[in-house]
Amino acid sequence: MTEARFDVLCMGNAIVDVLTTVPDTFLSQNGLNKGAMTLIDANRAEELYGLMGPAIERSGGSVANSAAGVGALGGRCAYVGKVANDQLGEIFRHDVQSLGIHFETGPLLGGAPTARSFIFVTPDAERTMQTFLGACTELTPEDVPEDLPASAKFSYLEGYLWDKPQAKAALSKAARIARAAGREVALSLSDQFCVDRHRDEFRTLINDHITVLIGNEDEVKSLVEVDSIEAALPLLRPMAGMIAITRSDRPTLVLRGEETVEVPVPAVAKVVDTTGAGDMFAAGFLWGLTNDLPLAKCARAGQVCAGEVISHIGPRPDADIRAMVRAERGL
């Protein structure tokens, strides 16, 4: 196997996040499903934007956030995702490239605008997302250069991309190339509703190509259609070589064969916004794997990154997560 050019290749929906804080009544009055990511059309996007108060705009997208985290930790990272040839697309591209991430996917010309996700943060720090996918759904297999998946230690695929056939084909292409080259392929389950939509196809993808599965407790329970994590574990073990399961403030579980690693979650002084928590966990966890750390230390790196991002508004780190991870004993 040739030496890897990148530690992680990330493939996901390229989205600009628009974040604001709202009371719970805003969600109920506007028919929003608390804690979920719901896809909306252009008209609904315009309506919600008109209802929002002051907001923060930042480049986002689940696996794009993970790419930013890997880069902030010092990892060599590449990103594949589709934006339009418009102002938000240029903002997204500049943000990603300014982090030292290789991002050369060509823009969509003359089609839908760059995607945006309206994120409503309630006082309990829960986030509710309403997402207009726009240009990011136009990712195609032609946007995946043959050399990228073959030259990355890990390809990290976003489950949300599975909603569109051509984007699904792009993910499948990357997974096939990576595995043929002897590389690792990781999958984010993205959210429970995404799993509900694509359960059978996800199972096939995992069995055929995925070596590392990352999800939270609700997502993995949905994947194997059980109501408890205890019932889920024996069903999950045969599905992928390694499975990392986050459980909010309860210990993270990492499964590898018959091994179970349980890692307590460090306390966070104040939880402000849970947006990006899973994305930053994935960044730290994958960074740990690419550096051959023991599983418990990989999970702890992920927890540290997640703990930083939930301490402020926004899905990407504000503090030096590389220094924070290195400050952990043994990391």
Q: In this predicted model, what pLDDT tens digit does every residue of 67-94 receive, in sequence order?
A: 999 999 999 999 999 999 998 899 899 9
Say if residue 210's pLDDT is above 80: yes
Encoded amino acid at 72, one letter: A
Boundaries of every domain in the chain: 6-12+62-90+135-327
Q: How confident is the model at residue 314 (pLDDT cuts 50, 70, 90)?
A: confident
How far is it, in rounded angstroms, from Cα 303 to Cα 294?
A: 14
Q: How confident is the model at residue 189 (pLDDT cuts 50, 70, 90)?
A: very high
Percent of the chain with pLDDT over 90: 82
SS3 content of the chain, % helix, strand, coil (to 5): 45, 25, 35
* Pick from 45, 50, 52: nearest CA to 27: 52
Q: What's the pLDDT at 34?
A: 93
Say if residue 11's pLDDT is above 90: yes
Q: What's the pLDDT at 42?
A: 85
Q: Are 132 and 163 in contact (CB under 8 A)?
A: no
Q: How confident is the model at residue 273 (pLDDT cuts 50, 70, 90)?
A: confident
Say if residue 45's pLDDT is above 80: yes
Q: What's the pLDDT at 262?
A: 97
Number of CB atoms found within 10 A of residue 125's CB: 18
Best-predicted range by mean pLDDT among 109-113, 127-131, 139-143?
139-143
Report whether CATH 3.30.1360.10 matches the domain 6-12+62-90+135-327.
Answer: no
Q: What's the pLDDT at 330?
A: 65
Mean pLDDT, the chain, integer: 94
pLDDT in tens, 12-41: 999 998 889 999 999 999 999 998 889 899
Say if residue 292's pLDDT is above 70: yes
Q: What's the pLDDT at 329?
A: 67
Percent of the chain with pLDDT over 70: 99
Q: What are the tokens at 137?
A: 């759904």
